[in-house]
A = this chain, B = another copy of it.
Amino acid sequence: MSGLLDIPEIRGLDGASGLVRIPPELDVPLTPRVRLILDSAEFRRLARISQLGLVSMVYPAANHTRFEHALGVYRLALLVLRRLADDPRFSSEVGPEDAELFILAALLHDLGHWPFCHPIEDIRLPGVPTHELFANSFLLEGEIADTLRDEWAVQPREVVDLLSGKPLSPSWRILQSLLSGPVDIDKMDYLMRDSLHAGVPYGRHFDQSRLIRNLCLNEEGTSLAITDKGKTAAEMMVFARYVMFSEVYWHHGVRSATAMLQRAFTMLVGGLDLDVLFRMSESAWISEVTAAAGDSPAGELLDGLFGSVRQLYKRVWQCSFYEHRSVYRELAGRPFPWLAACAEHMAALASTQLSRVVAPHEILIDAPPVEKEVEFNLPVYCIRDDRFRMLGEISPVVKILAQKQFDDYVKRVRIFAHPRLARDLRAGGRCGALVSEAIQRCG
């Protein structure tokens, strides 16, 4: 066990020197070799990219950065290692070298994020890399790569491999399940941090310390699990995530802004040098894209988001899985170009009906992406009868959230329109018919 607890960053958890503070009143231990990474150009870049992007159009205080989040995840990595150092099944498999790699992966997991990364990835445009792939360029060369080699005795390629999910060894498989899975340290931090800065209680109170305390390995010893003492905390985290999606990430105002950005970006992407663009800070990104758009329709859309006056498109209609199920099924999971075309058909139909010019980009359709949220399942170790069961099996509430409520209830299909059209489009339940007709035209 001692090996893990001797890692300097873990020892720093209780120490007096080298700390940086982040909310909510957390001390993050810094060693010289961590500080070198934080002060590097590649990492400083994260201080200029907001964690939640367009969410701040609705929650104006949600301006926290990926830099802050990275510190939070890094600290959780230390806490989780300190906890699991005590578990012989873990510590016999994961040695100090792999643990240090894990600490680095936690710190660097978002290095490839560019401004508004998630909405752009969601529309799956050809030529747009994933942020994971994009991260490699920052990791494999430059200052951080040097620091990894010189100060950590780590090959940059190893961090890339661990992050990209290559399960070269049982130890790595375990560590990857801590980085990405139903109760990973990434979610543990962002649910809490996004809540805190947005000013909402939703994602902050899932009893994180109890969750961490009760982490263990699954039956095979290959992946994360929890003991039944942590079951309720796991349920709380699943529920917290549901509420955050419902009230923050998929808030209709946030989705309106997202749909505006996605539509504008699609119009512009052909003329943009993505490799340059995605290396920029958020404000430079905005300047660059806005300049590229000029007075075009894309420029009009971007102006409502980033111009001097805030002007979001209005929600004129929405449907969910439990109401208007057939329309919902027609639209959910469709490719973005199809949705854009369908929205243009709607605009054309509306022009006719309203006897006024409705520009093609004045109506937007927002629908759940193909990719569903990960199912929230996790082995639970029941101490009393020494058996593992799946969380969904012993928790109906998790099962229902995983299967029904999450993607189908939270992620609605919505039609947004330019404010000047909103009243007319809402009138007389016109929108439902327009959508149906447009879908038919699109085939």
Contact = CB atoms under 8 A, between A and B. Distances in A.
Given A27-B213, A63-B65, A397-B397, A11 B86 contact: yes
Interface residues of A, number: 85
Contacts of A384: 318
A396 interface: yes
A161 B72 CA distance: 45
Contacts of A242: 397
Contacts of A56: 47
A259 interface: no
Contacts of A216: 16
A236 interface: yes
Contacts of A281: 283
Contacts of A91: none
Given A204-B205, A239-B397, A199 B405 contact: no
Interface in A1-44: 2, 5, 11, 14-16, 19-27, 38-41, 44
Contacts of A47: 56, 60
Given A63-B63, A200-B25, A309 B44 contact: yes
A141 to B, nearest CB: 15
A431 B206 CA distance: 35
A59 interface: yes
A11 B82 CA distance: 10
B396 A201 contact: no
Contacts of A15: 83, 86, 213
A243 interface: yes
Contacts of A247: 232
A29 to B, nearest CB: 10
A204 B236 CA distance: 13
A309 B82 CA distance: 31
Interface in A54-71: 56, 59-61, 63-65, 67-68, 71
5 cross-chain pairs, A with B, having the tightest CB-CB distances, nearest first: A41-B308, A283-B283, A23-B199, A205-B205, A21-B199
20 contacts: A21-B59, A21-B199, A22-B199, A24-B199, A25-B201, A25-B207, A25-B209, A38-B310, A41-B309, A60-B65, A60-B67, A60-B71, A61-B64, A63-B64, A201-B206, A236-B243, A281-B283, A283-B284, A318-B384, A396-B405
